[in-house]
Structure 1
Amino acid sequence: MFDHNRQHVVQNNDPKGDEWFGKFFGACVLFVMFLAAVQFACETVLAWYRDTMVWLNDTATYLAGFWPF
């Protein structure tokens, strides 16, 4: 009359799986930080290049002002 079948929840702890996820997540964080560093370096070099070209142009214009022709 009564069904005495009980359903149990079995929790399976997988420490190696947790370790794998931690390593994967850490690798993703390091990769994103690496990309941010590359982007910062690229923007710095490009800004330095642009500023150098502006300075050279201004210097050439100033020196050309002394040209007698």
Structure 2
Amino acid sequence: MRDHLHEYIYDSTDPKANEGLGTDMGALIVLVSFLAVLQVALDTVSAWHRDTMVWLNETASYLAGFWPF
């Protein structure tokens, strides 16, 4: 059983393959970071829009209370 342990170890003797893997991992990290920033920005804008609509609705209701008809 112990003879098969070496099959699960990633070992490359090709430095270009290691460099390519590092480049791909770096690109993946940058992509995920960009998507996380985009998600935070979308959540912020959505919350701001929702709060603005609530405020405008309450303001309109308050001002409509002064309407004499």
SS at match of 2:32: helix
What pairs up with 1:1-69 in 2 under 5 angstroms?
A: 13-69=13-69
Alignment: residue pair count? 59
Q: How far off is 1:13 after superposition?
A: 1.6
Give runs of ≥4 in structure 1 deviating > 3 Å. none
Structure 2 CA distance, aligned partners of 1:12 and 1:40? 38
RMSD (Å), alpha carbons: 1.4
- 1:1-32 Cα offsets, whole Å, 9 max, x none, are xxxxxxxxxx8621111000000001001101
Instruction: State the identity %.
Output: 59
Instruction: For residue 68 of structure 1, give the secondary structure of its aligned residue in structure 2.
Output: coil
Cα distance in 2 between the residues matched to 1:12 and 1:53:
58
Instruction: Find the aligned partners of 2:44 and 2:66 in 1 and give their Cα distance.
Output: 34
1:23-65 Cα offsets, whole Å, 9 max, x none, are 0001001101111111111111111000000000000001001
